[in-house]
C-alpha cells in the first residue's frame, strides 16, 4: 500500500541531517537557527540591561521635569543632555548585543586525534602494567609542542576536550567548554567569552558605559548646584530636594569605578598587545612579548583591521550521529588501541593457566618470538626422554676435570626411588599444564613451553 502524499514531507524531514549547532558539544545557547550564539550564563544579560536602562530612564525623567522650570538656555541644555544620554544608551546596548550574541572565535573541534599528534607518550615514565587488573599502559598525546611566532618560540597545548593543538593565544573556557582564539576572559556581565571576534565590541561597550556614567554623574551634580544657586540652599538641603540627582550620583560613583577601571586596564592591554589571560598568566613585559608591535599598530590591530570570519559554520549540515560518535572529553588521558592490540572479548575473560599458574591477560597477546627453543631445550622435550640431573651433571663436567669417584658418589646418593619421584612430579606437572591449556591462544604456546621447562628444572633441583 503506497503511503499518503502527506506523509512524504514528514519522512524527508526525519531523515534530514541536523545542523552543526544542534550537535555542538559546547555549552553555548543558539538562537535563530544558529545565527545568534550566547554563553551558558546569558541570563545575566537581563541584569546588565536593567543596570543600564534604569539610570537612563531616571535621568530622562528628571531632565523633562526641569524643562518647565528653567529658562530658554537651560531648556536647550537639558534637551541636548537627554538626547546625548539616549544615543549613548542605544550605542551601549548595541555593543552589548554585538559582544554577547556573536561567535567570539570558537576553535573547531576534532572528532579524532589530529595527524600531528602521532607522537605518543606513555602515561608513566616506565611501561608498567597493572597485573591485578590486566590492563595495558594508557597512552597520552604530547601535551605541548613548539610554534614560531614573530621569531619567538611559544608553546601550544593539546586540548584533550577539543582533541587538537590550540592555536597560539588560544585557551579553553571551562564555562563555555570551547577553545577560543585570542582568549581574553569570560565575562559574566555579558554572558559570553571575550575573544578575537568580539573583543572590539566588548571594549566599546565598556568605554561607552564609562562615558555614560561620567556624563550622568556630571549632570546630576549640575542639577544639585543649580538648586543651591537658585534657592540659596545648602548642599545637604539641595540633595534632599534633588532626590533623583542624589540617587544617580551615588549609583554612577560606584559603577564608574568598575567600568572606568576596566576601560583604563584594557587601554593598557591594547597598547601592549596583550590579553587579560596573558597578562595574569605570563606577565609579558616589553622585551619578551612575541605579539607586541608599535603603539599605533597595536591599536590599529584592534579597531581598524577586519574581523576574521568565524571558524565554524554552525548552520552547516552534519551527518546523522557523526559528531555524537566522535566528540568526547577524555580529561585524564586518551587510551589508544590499535587493531592488533585488541583482544577478543570472549578470550579476555578466560583464565589461562600454565604450570598451574594464572597468566595475566596482558601477557596473552605478547609476541614471544625472541624466546625460541634452544638446542638443549629441544633435546629435553623430544619424546619421553628424561635426562636426570645427576647423569647430566656428570656428563657435562667430565671435560672439566670431574673425577669418576665424584660421579659415582653422586649417583649413589640419588637412589632409584628418588629418581622415580622426580619423574612422577615431572609427569604430573606436564599433565596439569596440558589439561589447563585445552584452548591455546595463538602465540601463547611458546610461552607455555618455556614456563613448563622452568618448572621442571626447579622441581628437579
Say if residue 92's pLDDT is above 70: yes
Q: What is the pLDDT of residues 316-355, one digit of tens each?
A: 988 644 444 343 333 333 333 333 333 333 333 444 444 4
- Alpha-carbon gap, residue 435 to 428, rounded angstroms: 11
Whether the CB-CB separation of 107 and 180 falls below 8 Å is answered with: yes
* Spatial CB neighbours of 171, under 8 Å, sequence gap ≥ 6: 179, 180, 183, 277
Q: What is the pLDDT of residues 356-404, one digit of tens each?
A: 555 544 444 444 444 444 455 445 545 444 444 444 444 444 444 444 4
Identify the pLDDT of residue 322. Answer: 44
Identify the pLDDT of residue 347. Answer: 37
- Alpha-carbon gap, residue 182 to 178, rounded angstroms: 12
Considering only 63-72, 121-130, 203-212, 230-239, which range has the smallest mean pLDDT?
A: 121-130
Report the interhelical angle of 243-272 vs 44-66 (nearest 10°).
130
Three-class DSSP category at 155: strand
Whether 187 is catalytic is: yes
Q: Could you tell me the pLDDT band of residue 428, with boundaries at 50, 70 and 90?
A: low
Strands (E), 23-143: 29-31, 36-38, 120-122, 139-141
Strand partners, 180: 106, 171
- Alpha-carbon gap, residue 317 to 321, rounded angstroms: 12
Q: Who wins on pLDDT, 99 or 145? A: 99
The C-alpha cell 587510551 sits at 335
Say if residue 459's pLDDT is above 70: no
Considering only 197-201, 246-250, 414-418, which range has the smallest mean pLDDT?
A: 414-418
Q: Who wins on pLDDT, 448 or 42? A: 42
Say if residue 436's pLDDT is above 70: no
Whether the CB-CB separation of 129 and 137 falls below 8 Å is answered with: yes
- Alpha-carbon gap, residue 208 to 202, rounded angstroms: 10
- Cα–chain center distance at 205: 30
Q: What are phi and psi of 194, to 5 degrees?
A: -105, 120
- Alpha-carbon gap, residue 355 to 372, rounded angstroms: 19
Q: Which of these, 41, 47, 56, 43, lies nearest to 209 by C-alpha position?
A: 56
| Average of per-residue pLDDT across 101-122 | 75
- Alpha-carbon gap, residue 327 to 318, rounded angstroms: 13
- Alpha-carbon gap, residue 296 to 301, rounded angstroms: 9
Name the catalytic one among 159, 176, 179, 187. 187
Q: What is the pLDDT of residues 235-288, one digit of tens each?
A: 888 888 888 899 999 999 999 999 999 999 999 999 999 999 999 888 876 668
Whether the CB-CB separation of 150 and 291 falls below 8 Å is answered with: yes
Q: What is the pLDDT of residues 443-453, one digit of tens each?
A: 556 666 666 66
Q: Who wins on pLDDT, 135 or 180? A: 180
Number of H helices, E strands in the chain: 16, 13
- Alpha-carbon gap, residue 236 to 244, rounded angstroms: 14
Amino acid at each position: 500500500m503506497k503511503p499518503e502524499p502527506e506523509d512524504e514531507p514528514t519522512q524527508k524531514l526525519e531523515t534530514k541531517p541536523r545542523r552543526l549547532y544542534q550537535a555542538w558539544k559546547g555549552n553555548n545557547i543558539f538562537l535563530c537557527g544558529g545565527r545568534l550564539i550566547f554563553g551558558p550564563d546569558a541570563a545575566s544579560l537581563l541584569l546588565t540591561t536593567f543596570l543600564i536602562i534604569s539610570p537612563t530612564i531616571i535621568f530622562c525623567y528628571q531632565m523633562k521635569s526641569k524643562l518647565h522650570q528653567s529658562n530658554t538656555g537651560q531648556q536647550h541644555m537639558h534637551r541636548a543632555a537627554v538626547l546625548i544620554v539616549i544615543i549613548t544608551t542605544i550605542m551601549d546596548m548595541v555593543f552589548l548585543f554585538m559582544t554577547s550574541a556573536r561567535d567570539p572565535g570558537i576553535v573547531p573541534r576534532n572528532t579524532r586525534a589530529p595527524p600531528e599528534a602521532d607522537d605518543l607518550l606513555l602515561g608513566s615514565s616506565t611501561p608498567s602494567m597493572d597485573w591485578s587488573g590486566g590492563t595495558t599502559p594508557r597512552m597520552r598525546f604530547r601535551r605541548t609542542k613548539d610554534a614560531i611566532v614573530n621569531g619567538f618560540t611559544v608553546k601550544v597545548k593539546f586540548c584533550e576536550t577539543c582533541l587538537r593543538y590550540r592555536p597560539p593565544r588560544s585557551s579553553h573556557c571551562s564555562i563555555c567548554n570551547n577553545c577560543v582564539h585570542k582568549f581574553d576572559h569570560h565575562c559574566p556581565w555579558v554572558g559570553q567569552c571575550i575573544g578575537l571576534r568580539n573583543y572590539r565590541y566588548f571594549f566599546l561597550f565598556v568605554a561607552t558605559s564609562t562615558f555614560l556614567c561620567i556624563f550622568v554623574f556630571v549632570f546630576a551634580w549640575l542639577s544639585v548646584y543649580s538648586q543651591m544657586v537658585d534657592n540659596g540652599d545648602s548642599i545637604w538641603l539641595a540633595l534632599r530636594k534633588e532626590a533623583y540627582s542624589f540617587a544617580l550620583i551615588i549609583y554612577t560613583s560606584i559603577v564608574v569605578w568598575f567600568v572606568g577601571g576596566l576601560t583604563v586596564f584594557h587601554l593598557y592591554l591594547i597598547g601592549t598587545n596583550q590579553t587579560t589571560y596573558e597578562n595574569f598568566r605570563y606577565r609579558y613585559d616589553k622585551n619578551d612579548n612575541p605579539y607586541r608591535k608599535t603603539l599605533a599598530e597595536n591599536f590599529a590591530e584592534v579597531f581598524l583591521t577586519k574581523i576574521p570570519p568565524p571558524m565554524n559554520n554552525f548552520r552547516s549540515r552534519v551527518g546523522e550521529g557523526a559528531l555524537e560518535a566522535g566528540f568526547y572529553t577524555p580529561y585524564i588521558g586518551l587510551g589508544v588501541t590499535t587493531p592488533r592490540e585488541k583482544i577478543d572479548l570472549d578470550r579476555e575473560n578466560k583464565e589461562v593457566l600454565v604450570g598451574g599458574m594464572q597468566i595475566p591477560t596482558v601477557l596473552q597477546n605478547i609476541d614471544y618470538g625472541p624466546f625460541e627453543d634452544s638446542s638443549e631445550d629441544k633435546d629435553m622435550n623430544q619424546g619421553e626422554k628424561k635426562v636426570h640431573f645427576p647423569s647430566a651433571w656428570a656428563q657435562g663436567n667430565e671435560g672439566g676435570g670431574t673425577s669418576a669417584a665424584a660421579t659415582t658418589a653422586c649417583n649413589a646418593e640419588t637412589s632409584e626411588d628418588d629418581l622415580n619421584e622426580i619423574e612422577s612430579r615431572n609427569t604430573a606437572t606436564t599433565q596439569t599444564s596440558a589439561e589447563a591449556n585445552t584452548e591455546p591462544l595463538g602465540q601463547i604456546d611458546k610461552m607455555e613451553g618455556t614456563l613448563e621447562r622452568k618448572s621442571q628444572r626447579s622441581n628437579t633441583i
